[in-house]
Amino acid sequence: MFNRVTSFCRKVLNRDSKTRAIEDLKLEVIPRKAHGISRKGISENALKVLYRLHKAGFEAYLVGGGVRDLLLGREPKDFDIATDATPDEVKKLFRNCRLIGRRFRLAHILFGRDVIEVATFRGHHGKGEKDKQTARSEDGMLLRDNVYGTIDEDAQRRDFTVNGLYYNIADFSIRDYAGGLDDLNNRVIRLIGDPETRYREDPVRMLRAVRFAVKLDMTINSATAAPIVELAPLLQDIPAARMFEESLKLLQSGQGVATYQMLREYNLFQQLFPAVAAHFTETQTSQTEQMLEQVLRSTDKRVVNEQRINPAFLFAAMLWYPLVTRAEEMAFESGLSYYDAFMVAASDIVDEQVKTIAIPRRFTAMIREVWQLQMRMTRRTGARAFKTLDEKKFRAAFDLLEMRGAVEGEETEALCAWWRDFQRADQSGRQKMVRAINKAHNTRKPKSRRRKGPPRRRKPQSNSDA
């Protein structure tokens, strides 16, 4: 029923531009025999939480991406649960529970490293006593959202139709309020309610629309896509700490290249990485853009191969050419040596980036190390090459040098080849390579530091000398 669509272009569906208006939501109950979800596909810990809530007299539903992925034949990454129990009531039922969140209170049930998230049904924002639990900004963004309600109200508060499906542990049926099953069949990402209003409530929904479209190989409904370019700057009001987590979901998903291209098309990437976006060209051929393609393609490959990914390396590569440009400008304008300008520019670029994406300090420290090693790798005389090779972040720095070589060619490629051979050589071979570098360095004709005066005029010859 859910055949995978392999073509990927713009991912915007031009036909059927209708939105699922909140007031038009209509419940459809799909009995167990009419859908393909089996409890065998649900984690044991999620089932424990569902059954305990149900046994205690509360409603309990598997909801959101878990239901969506099970229907699509995918293995869910998370199993989220919705209930009419309040966070405090959930906490009383589970000793291994902790309550988190200020914007909306959630219960996390901990089973070792496995975390089952339990959310109380959200209600509508009204006036009076209830509204003391909610707050909005002038732009309509939800700042606090602790208003509880019924499952019907909760369905109206969900973002996309494909995430508005509820699996009922009481009778194993699926409750579909917004036509989510139809949109799964048609492979459409569609917002519930008015798109502009929903984006203003939470601008991160624009990022989620792109992420789901790429991840699920679906198209974004045209009405859902229409306001994104204009409203993209609203992302600047999102806390930088939240944007760090969102950026990892986007760029380390295994479809980083496709996600980047769509984010850029909708003016969203530009909000996340303004220093990088300053180097964008119409032809997408700048060094920055070539590096982006390289590092994201490499990251996608590592995800597929289930290899470890370090966000610090990703950010170091993405920001490398903005750093180099800044350092060159600073050296020219201030008269600083290039090395000093490079170090100042490195701090500036990192400080500017953390304003939009709060990269943790443990990662910014590594970013700086990888950048500094790019400078050190050009200096190979004496014992310098051996000391550089012993640095903890050498491998990451070499990987960046390889990517730079592919972008810059010539001298950088030659430097990269030298370091590749140096790593593979034994101790004797390494010493021989360094001696060759020393010899070339010592025989190089030193440049005169004295400024040459104007050339002497030749003394004219006399006729008698002829």
Catalytic residue (one of 69, 145, 154, 159)? 159
Q: Do the Cβ atoms of 30 and 181 come closer than 8 Å?
A: yes
DSSP string, 21-70: -GGG---EEE-GGGS---GGGS-HHHHHHHHHHHHTT--EEEETHHHHHH
Q: In what helix (H) or strand (E) does residue 382 lie, and over which residues does it extend?
A: none
Buried b (16+ CB within 10 A) or exposed e, 228-247: beebbebbeebeeeebbebb
Catalytic residue (one of 78, 217, 340, 399)? 78
Beta bridge partners of 326: none
Return the half-sphere exposure (C-beta side, CA atoms, 13 A cut-off) of residue 355. 10
What are the percentages of helix, strand and coil residues in the chain, rounded to 5? 55, 10, 35
How many CB atoms are closer than 10 A to CB 40?
5
Q: In what helix (H) or strand (E) does residue 217 lie, and over which residues does it extend?
A: none
**Cα separation, 415 vs 389, whole angstroms:** 14
351: annotated active-site residue: no
Return the half-sphere exposure (C-beta side, CA atoms, 13 A cut-off) of residue 390. 5
Distance in angstroms between the alpha carbons of the first and the last residue of the chain: 104
202: annotated active-site residue: no
Orientation angle between helical segments 240-251 and 204-215, nearest 10 degrees: 10
User: Distances in Å between the alpha carbon of 181 and those of 35, 155, 223?
Assistant: 10, 14, 19
80: annotated active-site residue: yes
**Cα separation, 63 vs 177, whole angstroms:** 12
**Cα separation, 420 vs 424, whole angstroms:** 7
Buried b (16+ CB within 10 A) or exposed e, 97-131: beeeeeebbbbbbeeeeeebbbbbbbbebeeeeee
Q: Do the Cβ atoms of 197 and 140 come closer than 8 Å?
A: yes
Q: Do the Cβ atoms of 371 and 343 come closer than 8 Å?
A: no
Any idea which residues carry the catalytic annotation? Answer: 78, 80, 159
